[in-house]
Structure 1
Amino acid sequence: MSFQRTRMSADRTLMSVIRTSLSLIGFGFTIFQFFQKLRDQNVVMHAGAARNFGIALVGLGIVMLIGGIIYHIQFMLHLRHQRDAMIADGLVHGESQFPVSLTLLTAIILLLIGVTAIVSMIFNIGPFG
């Protein structure tokens, strides 16, 4: 049971990284789009600083998400190796398997969306352009 609690704790940690990076990506994209629309309507002539700030926020969200995913994978591999060693020593039963982490899948999907958003912002292509 302690392995399952530790695994769920790691998932909660990754969820907090997902929430923070989602906020950064969403806020950065919103700032970018808002000032892009103002520039397109000739309300603001130079929106370069706001555009760069929006791109920086999205980039920060992506970098934070990549770090969280890497940390989560490393931690889960270490936990899995520790569990296998304890099973080999006969300290715990190895009847249950570690299921796929839905939190990790969600983080990877958000990472793909974030990368698509920043490519769209920088090169003005893609579904968000």
Structure 2
Amino acid sequence: MSFQRTRMSADRTLMSVIRTSLSLISFGFTIAQFFSHLQQTNILKAGEHAPRNFGLALVILGIGILLVGIVYHVNFMRELRAERTRLMAAGLVHGESSYPLSFTLMIAMALLILGFLAFASMVWKIGPFY
């Protein structure tokens, strides 16, 4: 049971990374879109790129945090599975419980794709969010 608790703890850690990166990506995208709208309606001077660059920096930071969190999670789960295999070979762990694909990891990958789409929309003005 300790392996299952450790696995769930790793999923909770990845969920906190998802929460943080989702906040950064969405806030950065919103800032960039809001100030872009202000420039299009001539409320803000055209040519001012500071708000767009700040929003872009937040999106990049969110993507970076998410990438690091995913890599950390995958490496941790590989080590946990290897340790369980070693303990089973030594006869210290009994029982055959499987490690299904992490739903949290799938959500993190989906958010990563959305983050890249938001980045592409902001930089090259392409994609579904343009």
For 1:50-69, list aligned pairs within 5 A.
50-69=51-70
Q: Structure 2: how far apart are the matches of 1:125 and 1:106?
A: 23
Aligned residues: 129
Q: 1:114 and 2:118 equivalent?
A: no
1:43 matched residue in structure 2: 43
Q: Structure 2: how far apart are the matches of 1:98 and 1:23?
A: 29
Determine if contact 1:35/1:47 at 8 Å carries over to the other structure. no
Q: Structure 1: how far apart are the matches of 2:63 and 2:92?
A: 40
Q: 1:34 and 2:34 equivalent?
A: yes
Question: What is the SS of the residue equivalent to 2:42?
Answer: coil
Question: What is the SS of the residue equivalent to 2:63?
Answer: helix
Q: Structure 2: how far apart are the matches of 1:67 and 1:111?
A: 11
1:16 matched residue in structure 2: 16
For 1:92-107, list aligned pairs within 5 A.
92-107=93-108
Give the partner amino acid of 1:61: G
- Give percent identity, aligned residues only: 61
Q: Structure 1: how far apart are the matches of 2:115 and 2:78?
A: 26
Offset from partner CA, 1:47-85 (integer Å, 9 cap, x none) = 300000000000000000000000000000000000000
Determine if contact 1:36/1:47 at 8 Å carries over to the other structure. no
Q: Structure 2: how far apart are the matches of 1:27 and 1:94?
A: 46
Query: 1:99 deviation in Å?
Result: 1.1
Give the partner amino acid of 2:24: L
Determine if contact 1:27/1:57 at 8 Å carries over to the other structure. yes
The TM-score normalised by the length of structure 1 is 0.98
The TM-score normalised by the length of structure 2 is 0.97
Query: 1:93 deviation in Å?
Result: 1.6
Query: 1:96 deviation in Å?
Result: 1.0
Unpaired stretches in structure 1, ≥5 consecutive residues: none
Structure 1 runs of 4+ off > 2 angstroms?
none
